[in-house]
C-alpha cells in the first residue's frame, strides 16, 4: 500500500492495530514518515481544513460518505499544510477513491480549494478572539476558551500554537548501563543527530527517528521520556534502600527512572489498573535490566489494597494520575477532538479518590508527588488544594527544592505556582505541559 492509502485507512479507523504498529510495518523510512505526517497533519488541522472544504463544496460535509470526507481532508492537508504541490495532492487523492462519481466530486472540490489556498477566511483577532483561535489553530472552542481564560490572551494563543508543533523526541539515559556522553557518541557515530537535553541524563534528537532501531535501544541504554515527565520523577527524589510506589505506572518511563535513582536497592512497586499496560511496564523494566521492581495489575484507588507489598507503607509515592491530557496535545492529535469538557469533573473526582487512597500508605516523613499532564485548574490545583485541606498531616513542599537548577528552571512561578505545586507550561519550556505537586507527611 502507498503511504496515502495507509494514511486514509488509519484516519478512517479501518486498521485494527495501533497506529504505532501500523506505521512500524511500513518498511521504507521515507514512506513511513510521509504516512505519519499525513495522519498527524490531517487530524491536527481538521477544524481549519473543514472550514476550507465547506466553502468549496456544494454539499454539506455532514452528508458525505466517510471515505470521501477523509479523502478531501487528506488532499487539503497536503497542499495547504504540508506544502505538497497542488497537482500532486489532487491526483494522488483522487486515486484513493473507487467510484467515478466520488472521483469527480473530490477532484472538483480539491481543485477549487487549491486555486484559493493562499487565502483562507478567518475572523480577525480583534473581531472575535475565540473564533480566530479555533479557526487559526484548529481547536474546539472549549479548549481555546480554557487556554485563553486561564493563561491570558498572549500565553493562551501561544499554547494553542505550540500544540500544533512537531513533538521532539527526548531520550533519558539509563545511568546504570551507560553515560549520556557515551550514548551521544554512539548515536552520532551512526549518523543520528542529537544533543544534550534540558534535564540531567537526557538527550534530544534533532530529527525524527525510529527509536527501536537506534543504537542502545535493545541494550536498555535509554527510554523515551519527555523532560517534563523526567522532572516529575526527579521531584520525588527516590533514594537507594527506600520503599517507593509508582501508583499509576504505565507505560513505565517514570518507573524506570525511579529504579535507576534507587540503584537497584530497596523496594520499588509499580501498579497499573490495566493488566496489559502493567505488562508494558514490566517489559520496559526488563529491557533496561531493572528487574528488581515489582509490577502489579492493581487499582491504586481500591480501598481494599492491603497485604504485601502495601502493609508496611512507603517512603515515597508518585501518583502520576490519569487526566484529560491537555498538556500533551502535540503528541496526541486526536485528543483535541475526542476529549470533552464534560470529562473534566469526573477526572477530577477520580484523581481525588486516588490521592486519598495512596496517602494511606505514606509513612511518616514520607514524600508524595502528584502530577498530571494537563492544564485544567479542576484537575490540578483545585484537586491538590482540596486534598491538602483534608490532610492536616501533610506539609506542602516546593517541587523546585528537590531539583537541580536546570530542571527547576522549567517550573513556572506565580500565578501558576502555589502551596507545594508548580506548573510546567509547554510554550515556555518547550516540553509537555505538566502539573507537579509535592508534600511530606509529618
Q: Which residues are catalytic?
A: 373
The answer to whether residues 381 and 421 touch, using CB atoms and an 8 Å cutoff, is: yes
Q: How far is CA 307 from the centre of its chain?
A: 34
> Cell 537507594 appears where?
240
Q: Where are the alpha helices (DSSP H) in 45-99?
A: 46-54, 66-76, 86-94
Reply yes or no: is the peptide bond before residue 309 cis, omega within 30 of 0: yes
Which 3 state secondary structure label does DSSP give 243? strand
To which H or E segment does residue 372 belong?
strand 362-372
C-alpha cell at 175: 545511568
Q: Facing residues of 270 across strands?
A: 246, 295
Which of 344, 296, 289, 292 has the alpha carbon at shortest distance from 322?
344
To which H or E segment does residue 191 belong?
none
CA–CA separation, 308 vs 286, rounded Å?
22
Q: From the CA atom positions of the chain, what is the Rg in Å?
A: 23
| CA–CA distances in Å: residue 293 to residues 139, 171, 235, 335, 398 | 41, 21, 20, 32, 28
> Cell 519550556 appears where?
429
Q: Facing residues of 173 across strands?
A: 222
Give Cβ neighbours of residue 186 (< 8 Å, ≥ 6 apart): 215, 216
Report the interhelical angle of 66-76 vs 3-11 (nearest 10°).
130
CA–CA separation, 101 vs 174, rounded Å?
57
Number of C-alpha atoms within 13 angstroms, CB side, residue 51? 19
Which of 244, 291, 295, 302 has the alpha carbon at shortest distance from 272?
295
Quick count: other Cβ atoms within 10 Å of Cβ 311? 9
Which 3 state secondary structure label does DSSP give 371? strand
Burial 105-142 (b: 16+ CB within 10 A, else e): bbbebbebbbeeeeeeebeeeeeebeebbbbbbbbbeb
Amino acid at each position: 500500500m502507498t503511504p496515502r492509502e495507509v494514511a486514509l485507512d488509519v484516519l478512517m479507523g479501518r486498521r485494527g492495530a495501533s497506529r504505532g504498529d501500523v506505521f512500524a510495518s511500513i518498511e521504507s523510512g521515507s514512506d513511513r514518515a510521509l504516512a505519519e505526517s499525513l495522519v498527524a497533519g490531517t487530524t491536527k488541522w481538521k477544524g481549519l481544513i473543514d472550514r476550507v472544504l465547506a466553502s468549496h463544496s456544494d454539499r454539506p460535509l455532514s452528508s458525505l460518505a466517510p471515505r470521501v470526507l477523509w479523502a478531501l481532508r487528506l488532499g487539503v492537508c497536503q497542499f495547504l499544510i504540508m506544502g505538497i504541490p497542488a497537482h500532486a495532492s489532487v491526483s494522488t487523492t483522487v486515486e484513493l477513491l473507487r467510484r467515478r462519481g466520488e472521483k469527480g466530486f473530490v477532484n472538483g472540490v480539491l481543485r477549487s480549494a487549491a486555486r484559493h489556498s493562499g487565502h483562507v477566511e478567518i475572523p480577525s483577532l480583534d473581531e472575535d478572539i475565540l473564533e480566530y483561535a479555533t479557526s487559526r489553530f484548529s481547536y474546539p472552542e472549549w479548549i481555546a476558551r480554557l487556554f485563553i481564560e486561564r493563561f491570558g490572551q498572549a500565553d493562551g494563543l501561544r499554547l494553542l500554537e505550540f500544540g500544533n508543533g512537531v513533538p521532539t523526541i527526548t531520550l533519558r539515559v539509563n545511568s546504570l548501563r551507560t553515560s549520556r556522553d557515551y550514548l551521544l557518541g554512539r548515536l552520532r557515530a551512526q549518523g543520528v543527530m542529537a544533543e544534550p537535553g534540558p534535564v540531567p541524563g537526557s538527550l534530544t534528537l534533532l530529527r525524527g527517528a525510529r527509536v527501536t532501531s537506534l543504537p542502545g535501544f535493545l541494550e536498555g541504554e535509554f527510554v523515551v521520556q519527555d523532560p517534563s515527565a523526567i522532572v516529575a520523577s526527579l521531584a520525588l527524589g527516590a533514594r537507594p534502600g527506600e520503599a517507593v510506589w509508582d501508583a499509576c505506572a504505565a507505560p513505565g518511563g517514570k518507573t524506570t527512572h525511579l529504579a535507576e535513582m534507587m540503584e537497584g536497592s530497596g523496594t520499588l512497586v509499580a501498579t497499573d489498573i490495566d493488566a496489559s499496560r502493567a505488562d508494558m511496564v514490566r517489559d520496559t523494566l526488563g529491557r533496561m535490566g531493572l528487574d528488581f521492581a515489582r509490577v502489579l495489575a492493581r487499582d491504586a484507588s481500591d480501598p481494599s489494597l492491603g497485604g504485601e507489598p502495601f502493609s508496611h507503607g512507603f517512603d515515597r509515592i508518585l501518583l502520576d494520575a490519569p487526566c484529560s491530557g491537555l498538556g500533551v496535545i502535540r503528541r496526541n492529535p486526536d485528543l483535541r477532538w475526542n476529549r470533552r469538557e464534560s470529562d473534566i469533573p469526573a477526572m477530577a473526582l477520580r484523581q481525588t479518590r486516588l490521592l486519598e487512597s495512596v496517602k494511606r500508605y505514606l509513612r511518616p516523613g514520607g514524600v508524595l508527588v502528584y502530577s498530571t499532564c494537563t492544564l485544567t485548574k479542576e484537575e490540578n490545583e483545585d484537586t491538590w488544594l482540596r486534598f491538602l485541606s483534608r490532610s492536616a498531616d501533610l506539609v506542602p513542599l516546593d517541587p523546585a527544592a528537590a531539583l537541580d537548577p536546570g530542571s527547576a528552571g522549567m517550573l513556572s512561578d506565580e500565578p501558576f505556582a502555589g502551596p507545594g505545586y508548580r506548573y510546567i507550561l509547554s510554550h515556555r519550556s518547550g516540553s509537555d505541559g505538566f502539573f507537579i505537586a509535592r508534600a511530606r507527611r509529618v
